[in-house]
Structure 1
Amino acid sequence: MHERKKLLRTTIAAVTAGVVALSIGLAGAGTAAATEETPPPDTPAATEAPSPEPGTDARTPTPDPADPAELATKPYLGWSSYSMQVYSGDSKWITADQIIAQSDAMHEKLQPFGYDHINVDSGWNGSVDGNGLPVPSAELYPDGLQTVIDHVHANGQKFGLYFIPGISPDVYEQALPIAGAPECTTHDIVKQPIQQADYWNIGYRLDFANPCSQKYIDSIANLLDTWGVDFVKFDSVTPGSGISDLSLDARDDVSAWSQALHSRGIWFELSWALDINYADYWKEKADGWRVDWDVECYCAHEALTTWENIDRLFPRMADWWRHGGPGGWNDLDSLDVGNGSMDGLTRDERRTATTLWAISAAPMYLGNDLTQLDQFGLDLVTNKEVLAVNQAGTPAQPVSIATKKQVWYALNADGTYTVALFNLGRTDADITANWADLGLAGGASVRDLWAGKNLGSADTGFTADDVPIHGVRLLKVTPAKKANLTVNDDSLRVSYDGDWARNGNTEVAATSQPLTVSVFDSSTGAAPPATPADGRTVAVNDNDPGIVYTGSWGQSGNRGLGDFNDDVHYVEANGSSFQYTFQGTGIDYVTETHESQGDVDVYLDGVFQQTVSTHLDPSQGRGVQVAVWSASDLPNGSHTLQVVKKSGAFMLLDKLDVTLESLLSTSTAVFDQAPGAGADVAVEVLRDPGELAGLSHDGAALVAGTDYDVSGSTITIRSAYLATLPTGDAVIDVAFRGDLHDDVHATSTNGDSVSFAFRGTGVSWSGPTGPDQGTVEVRLDGAVVATVDTHSDARLTAQPLFSSDDLRDGDHTITVVKTSGTLLRHDAFSYTVKKVK
């Protein structure tokens, strides 16, 4: 697929006045017309003119640009051309007539609902001028691109264009003078020795150590400003765009463009599949960033997209959601849900896609032909309650993605929750949202936003019956009077002042360790069993729901080749990957080695580790359950393994072996069920016993005081319970609690603080204590109300640290300030509402 995209972009570049794609001036201007990714978001959200009321005429010039800091206060609503360029199979689809037609259709059908961005993707330019600046295609825009821009502006809309990093070889060779900087030429600004600037190797990399490079970018931004361009999509940004090993690094380009565009009030959108390890950089420099690959299916004249391209976004947003919000937005690419069968999605899938964009607070820019919107699609994208969810700007998070019945939620600033129940499975299913999973204690009223219907009240949760395959229910949940709401440390509503960092091995995750008890009965003549295997190593089979597969993976079972559990997952396309987040101190990637396999790239916690060969010479046959890469002695905590296919016919995953921290004095025991022979099984807990969450076997909880006892650090499992187990190995899970959502924020600087603003009658603060922590000062509404000692001999989680339940109903702010100790960790605030209005 990537090669087809590259070919399309290259073709567009070649037909653009015969000029080799001019990265910045040309290729960047759109000559590289089919970027290996997808279309970008369009233009600023908060700088645009207010949407007209239905029935009014909005054909007035756009106002002057807003302050750049105000650009991204909300995700923008609009349209982008790239999906139709791909669908039509015609890179020249973006003619003046087409763009004007899309603008007029938006003005008529969508603008009353807030849609007002028109973005023209790659292929819009035709040549360069004497200063190396892009010249729009005279073939596409015979009356000039300015005429099109003016028409869009007269419709009360914003206008956007497309660029990529670097500069074309042709412009480099011509050594053209840079506008406004006569001392500089386009030959001066290329980094030496010459290096590739973009994914497709269209242009040369710029040398930003030379001030002339910034001046060249400024000259382009100045030209765009004189045209009235409101938005720039900047494509092929690395790390990202399929390359994250820093062999290509466009961060200097991003910085230069950010400076040039933001000083002129122009929205700056990055694309594509940006590397999340640099999320803070993207947030500092841009107004939005694409989080994944193109949404288009690259099946011209057949469909715009496919369900698979929507489905893969869920695990991506499970990682990215916390990085979006006012000031910069996670971009999911074009929303192709408005043209009926042409979309490539069923009606339920179209509604699900629209819901995902809405709850993610992602820019909602359609990729459809706006002149052919069907009524169902129009109803989807103009539902006022759903659009309000998007414009509230609070990205939702999942309760868990280790299931096909997913619950996503967001706590809004007004105290209501947005809750989406997604059925990503293959059969209709009931899906339940438990209020406790959302941080809500107390009842709530429920409204179905797609149906526009109030559903009544629910005390502990809500179940949506028979959610269709790939369908969704979208709810507004309003807490009842005196409900208590818990806000995790990574909520957008929590503000940090100082040098705070998330996790960094300062967190403790909820975890469990298996105690394997070998049960036998000597009275039957059975011999004592061998000591069970060490329970510190846990095998995670390839079908574990916690493994996130990206690409078109298949599963093969019953091969009879010695696979673990007799099954494997496999994929053929290079660039496909799997990802698994685990709690522990080590992991092994176990797979098959064979002549059909090739190289894979291994990443741990986002850092490239090495390229591993899974190829085996044909003379050596087949390797079975081979640990081709291992990590050990990691800091105990949360880690993420990602493996990416690089070469070969196939990449396989058989299992992952995870090494757990030792939490028990022993991980094995033997129990004899013969009359009078069995004895209680005792095990010492190597973590503070107050952190024990419980014991279970086969998903059923053991009863404290009946099935087991805890005294000090000793767990004793009673023989009466063990006697009920069948002979063989019984795995008893010993569970320990962790920080809320397995994460914390931490700082080492005295005077740093964390604050939370709320409306209610009570508030509390809970979190970790530990030997590296000290005292904090708690303030309510600016007044110091308590000093709290967060020191303890052992690292403890979820400790009650402060509470006040006698506040007057109204707006309040709690602030916690570090005053001593090595670290301050923050986990959660909770507050009580009198009534959510």
Structure 2
Amino acid sequence: MNTRNRHALGRRWLAALAVAAVGTTIGIGGAAAAAEPRAAASTPAPAVAPMATTDDDTPGARPYMGWSSYSMQVYAGNGSTWITADRIIAQSDAMHDKLQSAGYEYINIDAAWNDGVDEYGRPTPSSKLYPDGLQAVIDHIHANGQKVGLYAIPGISPQVYEADLPIYGAPDCSTGDIVKQPIQQADYWGIGYRIDFSNPCAQKYVDSIADMFGEWGIDFLKFDSVTPGSGISDLSLDARDDVKAWSQALERNDIWFELSWALDIRYADYWAQYADGWRVEWDVECYCEKTALTNWNNIARLFPRATDWWRYAGPDRGWNDFDSLNVGNGKMDGLTKDERRTAATLWAVSAAPMYVGNDLTQLDDYGIQLLTNPEVIAVNQAGRPAHPVSTASPQQTWYAANPDGSVTVAVFNLGQTDADMTVSLADVGLSGSVKVRDLWAKKDVGKAEGSFVATDVPVHGTRLFTFTPAKGTTVALNDDDAQLTYEGAWTRNGGLEQVAASQSLTVSVFDSSKGGAAPETGSSRVVAVNDTDPGIAYSGNWGHSTGRGLGDYQDDVHYAEADGSAFQYSFVGTGIDWITETHESQGDAEVYIDGVLAATVSTYQAEGRGAQQVVFSTRDLENGSHTIRVVKKSGQFMLLDRLDVMQESLLDVDHVAFDRAAPADAIVHVLRDPGELLGVYREGAALKSGTDYTIDGDAVVFGSAFLAALADGDTALEFRFRGDVQGDVHGAKDDGAAVSLTFSGTAVTVTGPIAPDQGEMEVYLDGTLVDTVDVQGDARLTQQKLFEKSGLKKGQHTVRLVKASGDVLRVDALSYVTG
């Protein structure tokens, strides 16, 4: 089922009685007797990660843990039956008995909890669902030592607007005055009208509802259908004013504010400013009524979302929400045991809120083990979102550096066969010896140096480790790392970055005396990527078809049938084309560039078949690292034939020729500073500088002796150029802007670029100015050692870098040596 359609179907009962204020959900369904609330129990304190950066218990301090009703509402097929008083009380009691000692504390009631409004236009709980009153349920949850959540959406219902009701606590205001004119839709489903927040009465109306929730004892609010996002990102719907108003109203009531669903990443800083958490993808539920809660495809598609969003979350910002963690009962989840543990690992290392969607009264033993492992929960509560070393392979390593110098490392086998997975310590920022602990097994598994091999990682399986460095090990941190603290106005990338890149050169060897001829030369800009390229990550069920004889590039395609199936490819360049087949069996697809919806395109062709058709093209990207992701939305099939990547030319020609009848050196000019050239490679092996080729300024000269030794025909060489670490930097233009790192060690090194637009950088160590570094250079050169200090006393130190002059200061990487 199309995910957008699922909202129309899954929430159909929302529109049935659209009489709630601010679009809060509508309750329908049977009555149930509320049980007597149990006496407040003595419950073990929630597990707090030993690496957590704060003990603050205010909303948003750590990813929340608990239970949400929505997965079971979908699974049951009649949502209201899963939010009755007796059901909610049963879940609260089960969580108290089975999960609460591990840190789970929220009981969140999703859509359809109310059935009307009071005389002030504020939502009233359903008397059918809560015959003894919702307050009795809230009190029961609180008596269990837990917190309770409710649900709302943007806007105000037409009925409340037309009734022109007085606003509580604001005698000069009424609900008839706060709707934006002309009337506009407020939410995805068209339930409510958009509120005009330029009228101060609008904020007072939201305040009146939030304050009422506070009086009830509500601790959490899920705010759904938030735009830009929720399937609409063109600003035809825009709920940002609602988000700001609710944020202000809820904050003074200490209520956690969670945004939903599939929010637009372009506004990530806005969501972080006003909310404690935000959904990053469509619902995790498979909408397999009475069959399963979710499926593997809906878990797998979260990996690219986590890749896009990880840097936007953290202790001082808020949390990326992956939706319900449905791993508690194998008969219900729709996942294998390995897939259940993979999901739990992804939630944990991503610091995503861990809230269960299963019926807590029916958890199996394996599910309880997954949900209560204290070492895995500690990783989640530490609030350090992990990121991948690379997404070019189905076997992926994800990692996050911790303040104590250790590194959390997860390996995920997203492929189709069991695999041994090798983790390079250098790839996760470590050089030296480390102690390895298996967190799922809760045991140490030895030491590693250089690399570590996780053996027999099953299909769709995972391993989760902590790498703890020995004394004298170097810990390297990128500019995105959560341990770095930025002061002032900083921009990530924004065209200030330099990305590592490579470009191919074809050497054509011929003999003119035997009739051979030199090929035409030119500047290479387009790189064709076939559908079989290992860098393309496929999620969902994909097939590979070869030898079709239909004009496909290299006579093959990849194809998917299930809506929601997707492919993703990360590239360096200024543009990309998606080339595919068009046919009557195909439909629409969404194209995302760098996590942002760029277009919805059609691959439908009424008659005949189109081969190698460009259905999406972009040419105006800033030169750098980008990601394209295409998601199937309709039609019987979606195909990928090839991708064409437009790259900035690094060489002045794409061919050189060597004529055996008139041997001569071949000269290639590099268009990036020659100081960035790492080397020239043939079939992955480096050529010898000074022997096979020499460098003279920007000219790379291949000697005739080297060329003569090549076989007749074409030989491919690869020029590799260095870039900023991980292809990104943070930049500041205002003098006084600073970044600091607190670490425990005996040495520290600052690595970054020099460039013509940079000036001086002041370096403070433990509050004392120790150096002023000139980071200006005649050319833009990356990964230069800018500052180094060794021989520090063992213990904690702080290094602080301050922009002193120049147009910009770029921060790339810092490293320290453990003491």
| Residue equivalent to 1:801 | 786
Greater mean deviation of Cα atoms: 185-194 or 460-469: 185-194
| Residue equivalent to 2:63 | 75
Secondary structure class of the residue paired with 1:661: coil
Q: 2: distance between equivalents of 1:51 and 1:671?
A: 84
Q: 2: distance between equivalents of 1:604 and 1:566?
A: 27
Q: Are 2:773 and 2:787, in contact at CA under 8 Å, matched by a contact in 1? A: yes
Q: Are 2:522 and 2:652, in contact at CA under 8 Å, matched by a contact in 1? A: no
CA shift digits 1:317-353 (9 cap, x unpaired): 0111111111411111111111122111111111111
Q: 2: distance between equivalents of 1:728 and 1:769?
A: 41
Give the drift of 1:574: 7.1
The residue type paired with residue 527 of structure 1 is G
Q: Are 2:393 and 2:537, in contact at CA under 8 Å, matched by a contact in 1? A: no
Q: Are 1:51 and 1:111, in contact at CA under 8 Å, matched by a contact in 2? A: no
Greater mean deviation of Cα atoms: 649-658 or 101-110: 649-658
The one of 78, 102, 124 equivalent to 1:90 is 78
Q: TM-score, normalised by structure 2?
A: 0.92
Q: Are 1:67 and 1:265, in contact at CA under 8 Å, matched by a contact in 2? A: no
| Residue equivalent to 1:165 | 154
Q: 1: distance between equivalents of 2:630 and 2:337?
A: 34
| Residue equivalent to 2:686 | 701
**1:380 equivalent in alignment to 2:370:** yes
| Residue equivalent to 2:397 | 407
The residue type paired with residue 304 of structure 1 is L
Q: What pairs up with 1:103-252 in 2 under 5 angstroms? A: 103-252=92-241
Give the drift of 1:558: 2.7
CA RMSD of aligned residues (A): 2.7
Q: What are the ranges of 5 or more consecutive residues in structure 1 without an aligned counterpart?
A: 34-48, 57-65
CA shift digits 1:97-142 (9 cap, x unpaired): 1111111111111111111111111111122111111111111111
| Residue equivalent to 1:750 | 735
Q: Are 1:21 and 1:203, in contact at CA under 8 Å, matched by a contact in 2? A: no
The one of 445, 450, 456 equivalent to 2:435 is 445
The one of 653, 662, 672 equivalent to 2:649 is 662
| Structure 1 residues 424 and 610: CA distance shift in structure 2, 3 A | closer
| Residue equivalent to 2:44 | 53
Q: 1: distance between equivalents of 2:563 and 2:361?
A: 37
| Structure 1 residues 8 and 646: CA distance shift in structure 2, 3 A | closer
Give the drift of 1:178: 1.4
The residue type paired with residue 377 of structure 2 is L
| Structure 1 residues 362 and 539: CA distance shift in structure 2, 3 A | same
Q: What pairs up with 1:624-703 in 2 under 5 angstroms? A: 624-632=611-619, 634-641=621-628, 651-672=638-659, 674=660, 678-703=663-688
**1:811 equivalent in alignment to 2:796:** yes
Give the drift of 1:310: 0.7
| Structure 1 residues 772 and 645: CA distance shift in structure 2, 3 A | same
Q: 2: distance between equivalents of 1:764 and 1:627?
A: 47
Q: What pairs up with 1:3-22 in 2 under 5 angstroms? A: 5-13=6-14, 19-20=17-18, 22=20
Q: Are 2:297 and 2:565, in contact at CA under 8 Å, matched by a contact in 1? A: no
Q: 1: distance between equivalents of 2:28 and 2:471?
A: 57
Secondary structure class of the residue paired with 2:176: coil
Q: 2: distance between equivalents of 1:274 and 1:731?
A: 44
| Structure 1 residues 317 and 50: CA distance shift in structure 2, 3 A | farther
Q: Are 2:19 and 2:117, in contact at CA under 8 Å, matched by a contact in 1? A: no
Q: 1: distance between equivalents of 2:41 and 2:624?
A: 48
| Residue equivalent to 1:310 | 299
The residue type paired with residue 667 of structure 1 is D
Give the drift of 1:164: 0.7
Give the drift of 1:593: 3.9
The residue type paired with residue 185 of structure 1 is S
Q: 2: distance between equivalents of 1:812 and 1:614?
A: 58
| Structure 1 residues 244 and 89: CA distance shift in structure 2, 3 A | same
Secondary structure class of the residue paired with 1:693: strand
Q: What pairs up with 1:277-676 in 2 under 5 angstroms? A: 277-327=266-316, 328-520=318-510, 525=514, 527-528=516-517, 530-531=519-520, 534-547=523-536, 554-570=543-559, 579-596=568-585, 604=593, 614-616=603-605, 618=607, 621-632=608-619, 634-641=621-628, 651-672=638-659, 674=660
Q: Are 1:22 and 1:31, in contact at CA under 8 Å, matched by a contact in 2? A: no
Q: 2: distance between equivalents of 1:88 and 1:714?
A: 69
Q: TM-score, normalised by structure 1?
A: 0.90
Q: 2: distance between equivalents of 1:549 and 1:165?
A: 35
| Residue equivalent to 1:36 | none
Give the drift of 1:73: 1.4
Q: 2: distance between equivalents of 1:658 and 1:639?
A: 10
The residue type paired with residue 141 of structure 2 is V
Q: 1: distance between equivalents of 2:668 and 2:678?
A: 15
CA shift digits 1:544-575 (9 cap, x unpaired): 34445566655443322212122334456777
Q: 1: distance between equivalents of 2:620 and 2:326?
A: 46
Greater mean deviation of Cα atoms: 182-191 or 444-453: 182-191
| Structure 1 residues 211 and 569: CA distance shift in structure 2, 3 A | farther
Give the drift of 1:214: 1.0
Q: Are 2:21 and 2:121, in contact at CA under 8 Å, matched by a contact in 1? A: no
CA shift digits 1:331-378 (9 cap, x unpaired): 111111111221111111111111111101111111111111111111
Greater mean deviation of Cα atoms: 703-712 or 777-786: 703-712
Greater mean deviation of Cα atoms: 652-661 or 761-770: 652-661
Secondary structure class of the residue paired with 2:287: strand
Secondary structure class of the residue paired with 1:482: coil
Greater mean deviation of Cα atoms: 752-761 or 548-557: 548-557
CA shift digits 1:770-793 (9 cap, x unpaired): 111111111111111111111111
Q: What percentage of aligned pairs have identical amino acids?
A: 61
The residue type paired with residue 821 of structure 1 is G
Q: Are 1:513 and 1:733, in contact at CA under 8 Å, matched by a contact in 2? A: yes
| Residue equivalent to 2:51 | none
| Structure 1 residues 367 and 51: CA distance shift in structure 2, 3 A | farther
Secondary structure class of the residue paired with 2:25: helix
